[in-house]
Structure 1
Amino acid sequence: MSENSTFDAVVLKELNKPLELIKGIQFPALKSGQTLIKIFYAGLCHSQVMEARGHRGKDPYLPHMLGHEGTGEVVAVGDGVTKVAPGDYVVMTWIKGTGQEAGGCCYAGPSGETINSGGVTTFGEYAVVSENRLVRKPDGIPFDLGVLLGCALPTGAGIVLNDIKPAKGAKIAVIGLGGIGISALLAATTFDPTVLIAVDIEQSKLDLAREFGATHVFHASKDDWEAEILALTDGKGVDHAVEATGLAEMIERSFNVIRPGGGELVFASHPKAGDMIRLDPFELIKGKKIRGSWGGSSKPDRDLEILADLFRKGHLPLERLLSNTYTLHTINEALEDLENRKIIRALIKINEPPADAA
């Protein structure tokens, strides 16, 4: 199925331990609905940090592979796969689209040990991926930038395009400027908001948000940002807030800055397992709304082309979101840099795309 009989991949063997690069993993026989992908680039986001650090609670699938956004080439397909064919260039995403749901996959390690994976994994030279986690790569999207179409953009921009759908001239706040938050802010600029507020703990990200179109920026630990937002909106609050910090406390505080009578907070952040949020129920009676978003309510087969078109028109400067490039050998450095807020999104280069690939 490839030029080699085995491949290398990064594996999570123990929680809160460094990821391990395992060599000599065997290719499994493809089942119905499965595809074999040669991976060019993968993205790394806070979901992988949480998995590796044990913040999602007990993990019954150890050892297992990680990664849920990437780009690559279809090498082979299992029975019944019609959405893609060998030779197609694809985006891999954790968000389910059309096609068969083939479930996870079990690999044999170099000593015959079982290594688990879900319906999509991207931290390896190759991966078996379920048909419904693939979308053909849109034209004009480079392979490196294309990884953002697998998670950050459909989630962050999707919250704005699919969940919020703000009216022109709305007042919007984005709290947390990682890959999802920045994507939400970029999408919000296309609706011509009268007020577009960005809140983060890193000044470099606030500077970037200002460059991207934020009308006001506040430092989460230096400014009284809740009071500042209320002052900007005549004490009422914003029409929409997007929360993407991954902290339960910030979800609660973001709820304070939306207006009564229809103001809405949508969050895609993922606090640690067991963390709870506390809200004043009277604020809900007054008409404030709060909800979570699963992948920005995106439909990958539809929305990836919409996002690609925004990129081609210059509305999504994706190259500014990928801070540093790492390899499978340096992936633990990427985890640490992301965990310590040094970067927005980590790019993992795995295989060189063909020189003539579009």
Structure 2
Amino acid sequence: MKTRAAILWQLHKPLVIDDVEIPKLKKGQVLVKVLYSGICRAQYNEMIGLKGPDKFLPHLLGHEASGLIVDTGPGITKVKKGDYVCLSWIKGRGLDAFNSQYALNGHMINAGAVTTFSDYTVVSENRVTKIPKSMPADAAAILGCAIVTGCGIMENTVAAQPGTSVAVFGVGGIGLSVILGARRRGCSRIIAVDIDDKKLRFAKRLGATHVLNASHKSTLGQIAKIAPRGFDYAVDASGNKSAMENAFTVIREKGGTCVIAGNLSRDERISLHPFDLIKGKRIIGTWGGETLPDRDIPKYVRAFARGNLPFDRMITHRFDLEDINKAFNVLVNGEAGRIIVKAKHGQ
């Protein structure tokens, strides 16, 4: 059996759509018919080698999607054929299977425990979570990374309390999810900081109480007017060195927490003063919002159904799989909230 898939053959080159041979399922693996896939900047970072040389080329990409279970390999107990699932890069319950290798004209095409830029995909059991069929497939596609990371930061990483304040630097998919999560947790002041006025207007519609264009010279001064004693939380989702440093600067002393969710290149470093740490400021990272998929994804689906977490409003662009490189151009140009890619079976 073959499937269309987007293949990364070389760094700094567009993805190539081709038909690859699907490998036989091994212990702990399931075959999923992909409906929609989300696009994350993490994939673009892979395409340009942000973290260094890529020893797995050629390989497939994508790490959040919605789909249907088509077949199961040995040892599978979590899902069965016909189940409607969310795919995520974050490990949940179930077997942790070996990575897959697809085939194309004698070439081995590598894949991780989950890839999603294809019509069908072989996935490790612990990367799928069953969801109700009432959940729209397009919205479900962004549950596996954007929502669980952004909402998880507010829910799990910092456990934001009602009435607290948060500054969000960078309002792409993750930053917008942080804003939705902050609203859900009852934060009273939510400032969105970016350099794109269009994205800031979008952040305002999703729940930011204040917006600020960081290209202005008085960024920190303007932020200080909103929270003179500093913010309870700040989240960097921009992947920008200056923004990360500013996020740490704007948190309050004696308990303010800065969360780094963006990625810098391998040779970049941020700078901060140790005395700020002595004053009680905290800076931490996050691993997917400290999400437990089997606990958190159903919770976010229920919140969506009640209208308390309208993350479908984050989706600004839709592309067919064959146009995936156009989708990445939109992402890189900063034009999107969250982009989804429709596979052959998406409606």
TM range (shorter): over 0.9
Contact 2:29 2:123 in 1 (8 A): yes
Partner of 2:291: 298
Partner of 2:98: 103
Counting only pairs closer than 5 Å after superposition, residues 1-12 of structure 1 correspond to structure 2 as 5-12=1-8
Partner of 1:225: 219
State the alpha-carbon separation in 2 of the partners of residues 181 and 76 from structure 1: 35
Partner of 2:280: 287
Partner of 1:195: 189
Residues 25-62 of structure 1, C-alpha deviations (whole Å, 9 max, x = no match): 11211110001111111110100110111212110000
Partner of 2:17: 21
Residues 92-123 of structure 1, C-alpha deviations (whole Å, 9 max, x = no match): 000000000003111111x1210000000000
Contact 2:154 2:185 in 1 (8 A): no
Q: Write the letter of the residue equivalent to 1:172.
A: V
Contact 1:11 1:63 in 2 (8 A): yes
Aligned equivalent of 2:134, options 125, 137, 140: 140
Q: Write the letter of the residue equivalent to 1:152.
A: A
Deviation at 1:196, TM superposition (A): 1.5
Partner of 2:88: 93
State the alpha-carbon separation in 1 of the partners of residues 330 and 184 from structure 2: 30
Deviation at 1:313, TM superposition (A): 1.8
Q: Write the letter of the residue equivalent to 2:31.
A: L
TM-score between both structures, scaled by the size of structure 2: 0.97
Contact 1:138 1:304 in 2 (8 A): no
Deviation at 1:167, TM superposition (A): 1.9
Residues 138-172 of structure 1, C-alpha deviations (whole Å, 9 max, x = no match): 35310011011110000000000001112221121
Contact 2:86 2:129 in 1 (8 A): yes
Aligned length, in residue pairs: 347
Counting only pairs closer than 5 Å after superposition, residues 145-224 of structure 1 correspond to structure 2 as 145-222=139-216, 224=218
1:277 aligns with 2:270: yes
SS at match of 1:189: helix
Deviation at 1:125, TM superposition (A): 1.2
SS at match of 1:228: helix
Partner of 2:314: 321
Q: Write the letter of the residue equivalent to 2:304.
A: F
State the alpha-carbon separation in 2 of the partners of residues 303 and 165 from structure 1: 14
Q: Write the letter of the residue equivalent to 1:32.
A: K
State the alpha-carbon separation in 2 of the partners of residues 210 and 291 from structure 1: 26
TM-score between both structures, scaled by the size of structure 1: 0.94
Deviation at 1:323, TM superposition (A): 1.2
Partner of 1:330: 323
Poorly superposed stretches of 4+, deviation over 3 Å: none
State the alpha-carbon separation in 2 of the partners of residues 209 and 353 from structure 1: 28
Q: Write the letter of the residue equivalent to 2:222.
A: E
State the alpha-carbon separation in 1 of the partners of residues 184 and 131 from structure 2: 23
Aligned equivalent of 2:343, options 323, 327, 350: 350
State the alpha-carbon separation in 2 of the partners of residues 187 and 223 from structure 1: 29
Partner of 1:77: 72
State the alpha-carbon separation in 1 of the partners of residues 92 and 317 from structure 2: 29
SS at match of 1:159: helix
State the alpha-carbon separation in 1 of the partners of residues 120 and 195 from structure 2: 37
State the alpha-carbon separation in 2 of the partners of residues 223 and 169 from structure 1: 29
State the alpha-carbon separation in 1 of the partners of residues 16 and 7 from structure 2: 5
Contact 2:90 2:291 in 1 (8 A): yes
Aligned equivalent of 2:43, options 44, 48, 51: 48
Aligned equivalent of 1:59, options 49, 54, 58: 54
State the alpha-carbon separation in 2 of the partners of residues 223 and 213 from structure 1: 25
1:124 aligns with 2:118: yes
Contact 2:57 2:110 in 1 (8 A): yes
Q: Write the letter of the residue equivalent to 1:112.
A: G
Q: Write the letter of the residue equivalent to 1:144.
A: D
State the alpha-carbon separation in 1 of the partners of residues 67 and 133 from structure 2: 14
State the alpha-carbon separation in 1 of the partners of residues 81 and 282 from structure 2: 46
Q: Write the letter of the residue equivalent to 1:259.
A: R
State the alpha-carbon separation in 1 of the partners of residues 135 and 220 from structure 2: 38
State the alpha-carbon separation in 2 of the partners of residues 53 and 214 from structure 1: 32
- Among the aligned pairs, what percent are the same residue? 42
- Farther off after superposition, 311-320 or 179-188: 311-320
Partner of 2:109: 115
Runs of 5+ consecutive residues of structure 2 not aligned to the other structure: none
